[in-house]
Every structure is written in C-alpha cells, then in structure tokens.
Structure 1
C-alpha cells in the first residue's frame, strides 16, 4: 500500500493511517537509509562527544541537495582532523583560518568559525551539548524549552548578528527542522541502526517532527496536518497527531513521512 493509492479515495481512517505509517517506518528506518542521509557524517565516530559535534554540524547544513550536504559535512570532519572533540579543545582560533573559505548555501566561513567557537564554549563551560539541551528541557519538560535555552547559550559568545539566522528561533515561529532532526538522532533509541540514542536527558516521547517539504506534504495528504504554513505551530500540531499513534516514540514516523515524500 502507498499513499498514492488513496489520492482519489475518501480520507483514510486512523487505523489505516497507523498501518501505513508502521509499514513505511519499517521500510525506511534501516541502515540503507544512512547511505543517502546526512546522519552518515556522525556515523563515522564512536566517541559520544564526536558523534554529538559531528551530528550538530551535519544537521546545521542539512538543507539543499543531499550529496552536497554530505560532501560538505565530510570536508568539515577532515578539516577537524576526524576528531572534532579533540580539535575544539586543543586548537586555538588562530589555527581555524582554513574554515574561512567554507561555504554551504548561506552558511559561510564567518558562520562556521562562530559555530566552532560556540561549541568550544559549550564543551568547556556548559558540560557539552547534551547538558545544554537537557537543562533547557528540564525547565518546563518540553522540547521548546530545550530549543530556547540552547539558542540562548549558543549565542552567549561574541559574534556577528548574521550567524543568528542559522539557529532556529521558535519564538519567531520557525519550524526548527534541523534542530528537531538533530534531537531525533541523539535521543531516539531503537534497534534499527539509524538514530544513535545516546542522550538520556530528553525522553523520546517529547520529541517533535523535523518538518520539511516532504514530511509536511505527506502529513497533509494523510490528514495529519491542517495548518498551511510549515512553521512551529504546524510542528506542534502534526507531532501531537503522531503521538496518538505511538505515545512513547511518535517521531519514528519521520522515517515514514520522509520516505513517502522523498523516495516513493
């Protein structure tokens, strides 16, 4: 069964939607998914901190053509001597000049160096990425709290204002697709071999859908999303609908919705 089988038919029942989502999640939540996904960048590493840093940088540039995202992600890892945690802790900004020429769409060398500076501050002074997100989550037990607190900490070091557009601001109704995708990578625990599940400070049940052009289109066609804009309010709406199908792991259905849109 595919979603195309139902374009001219009446809207699917919740049971039919559940069956379709479960089927497609099993199909796409598998190691083959990694071959074309930016998650392959942090998959190069075994150390927790390297996975976190590589994953965050890969998620940051995860828009545009997937081969370009992966190529630029690999360049970043090579430029950090394939050990990003050690690189951040043991090198000075004077040694980061080669990042000046980095460019991924509107994310340029100025932005890249700021991100490295901020990540270094997070690991030296805030206990690392997991600690920052978990501290924010604990303020009100929501991913929204985690994203707000992370953004506040991330921009506490001096830098150009232009870089702020590269960390989503949900208070301006941004969908925060890349940050929600990053949290899925770090938090979700299952046996499929795609997501890492190395963070314990945020429960899987609280995760939100990484809403993009593929997932939003499929969600609307299935009747899971009524809102027209792909914004924060839409993220909350569709995530709550997915939570009705699996309260403990609602964002596993990201694989189904993305797969239906990108790979069908």
Structure 2
C-alpha cells in the first residue's frame, strides 16, 4: 500500500465529504425528500443522477424543473398516478433530455414499483451485482416503453466493438443510495452494500486517477471503472467509493468543476 497516497486521499475526503459539498451538487435533490417516502427519495436520486452531466448550474436547474415544477414535489405520486402522460414531449429539461425522456423514465419507474416496494429490488434480483443490475434496469425500462431503449440509460455490456459503458450516472445514484456516511450520501438501501459499488467515472476523475497511478488503461469504460475501484479498495475494501470525494476534490482544486 502507498501510505503517502492514502494520507492524501483521506485528507481530501475529509475536506470534500462535508455538507458544504451539497450546495451545488445534485445530491441535494434526493436529500430534499428525506422524511418522505422511500420511493420519493429513490425517484429523485434516479432522475437527478440521470441528468448529472455538463454545467452544474444547469444540472441543478433541470433537477428543480423535473422534481418541483413538473412533479410538484411529489415524484412517487406523479409516477404512480400516470401524470407523466401529460408531459409536453418537447419540454426542454437539460440539454438533450426532454419531456419525452422524462415520460420514458416515469413509465419504467412505474413498472418497477408495480412489481416491488423498492427500486432496490432490481439490484437484489441481480445478485447485488451492479453491472447486472444496470443491464436488468435497462431491459425493464425498454419493456415498459414498447421495446425502445433510451440513450440516457447507459449499456454496461461489453461487445467486440466497445468495452461497456462506465455508467457514471447510474453509479453515482448507487453511491447516494447505498453509502451511509451520515453527511452527504443518504444510505437508504441496505442489501446492496458499499463494498459492491463501483466508482462514478467522469473524464476528470479518470484524469486524476491516471495522475495518481490508480488507472493504467486508456479508455474510460467499464473495465477502467473496475480497475480504479479495485485499486481504491486497497485503501478501504469495505467502502472504496468514498474516495470519489477525494478524486473530485483534486479536480476541483485544479479548476475542473464539472461532473
């Protein structure tokens, strides 16, 4: 173990894993539903993470528009009462994510909640393997939408042309829902434990990971996520994803503030 690197990572986690972190981060939105139903939190986490790319201010505006302007602060009722049928398909929410995309997600969520009390069911049925869970999720959403797949739900399955998506946004959602740090992440799921999680990988985390020698691969795909998480697990095998804060923190200090 590289003790100097561990000290660096731990100090950065302490600096960035704070309540101040939430001010401009989409994790703020699922946290708005603490004290309400578990399903409200799950839906908010899923939708907020789904649009978590690009300009942070725009992400926050898009989350607010979905969860409060459109869903009136009642996402579970909105989904289960089919209110998504009234969404303007051309409504702009965040960059390439429109009203029709939100309706697609709501149909998938409705299908899941008809079958189970919790969104976590998808991952439990997949043996608490996050990649299998993402594959199952993608198939369930497609089935609920007449066999149509969404570009906003990444495909983690490798093929001869691609190594499988890093699924950054879905992994970010799982970090929020599974980690129980009592500070930023919500930790409302208990079957899918933190040691099973994969690190959310964006271009900045990948760059920092390579600078620190935690990543040797060139592409930012599923295998790279697995390599990074495996190397972070050397420092904390029970919760390797908590170092996501440290990698983000380095990027932040270098003025790379997009997630």
TM above 0.5, yes or no, is yes
Q: Are the equivalent residues in 2 in contact too, given 1:214–1:262 (CA < 8 A)?
A: no
Gaps of 5+ in 1: 1-12
Q: Are the equivalent residues in 1 in contact too, given 2:26–2:60 (CA < 8 A)?
A: yes
SS in 1 for 2:143: coil
Equivalenced residue count is: 246
Q: Which has the larger radius of gyration?
A: 1
Distance in 2 separating the partners of 1:259 and 1:177: 17
Which protein is richer in helix relative to its size? 1
TM-score by length of 2: 0.90
RMSD: 1.6
SS in 1 for 2:199: coil
Tell me what 2:161 maps to.
Answer: none
Matched, 1:23 2:11: yes
Q: Are the equivalent residues in 2 in contact too, given 1:211–1:230 (CA < 8 A)?
A: yes
Q: CA offsets per residue over residues 151-186 of structure 1, 9 Å max, x none?
A: 22222112474x521111111410100000000000
Distance in 2 separating the partners of 1:116 and 1:206: 27
1:233-248 to structure 2, matched below 5 A, reads 233-248=223-238
Instruction: Identify the match of residue 143 of structure 2 among 130, 134, 156.
Output: 156
Q: CA offsets per residue over residues 211-257 of structure 1, 9 Å max, x none?
A: 01121111100000000111111000010000110001110000000
Distance in 1 separating the partners of 2:191 and 2:138: 17
Of 172-181 and 96-105, the range deviating more from structure 2: 96-105
The ranges of structure 1 where at least 4 consecutive aligned residues each deviate by more than 4 angstroms after the TM superposition are none
TM-score by length of 1: 0.88
Query: How far apart are residue 130 of structure 1 and its match?
Result: 1.2
Q: CA offsets per residue over residues 185-228 of structure 1, 9 Å max, x none?
A: 0000123x100000012111111100011211111000000001
Query: How far apart are residue 99 of structure 1 and its match?
Result: 5.5
Tell me what 1:165 maps to.
Answer: 151
Gaps of 5+ in 2: 159-163, 255-259
Instruction: Identify the match of residue 176 of structure 2 among 170, 185, 193.
Output: 185
Tell me what 2:187 maps to.
Answer: 197
Distance in 1 separating the partners of 2:207 and 2:24: 20
1:1-264 to structure 2, matched below 5 A, reads 14-46=2-34, 47=36, 48-78=38-68, 79-94=70-85, 96-98=86-88, 100-136=90-126, 138=127, 141-159=128-146, 161=148, 163-172=149-158, 173-191=164-182, 193-264=183-254
Distance in 2 separating the partners of 1:53 and 1:126: 14
Q: Are the equivalent residues in 2 in contact too, given 1:122–1:129 (CA < 8 A)?
A: yes
SS in 2 for 1:197: coil
Tell me what 2:257 maps to.
Answer: none
Distance in 1 separating the partners of 2:84 and 2:49: 23
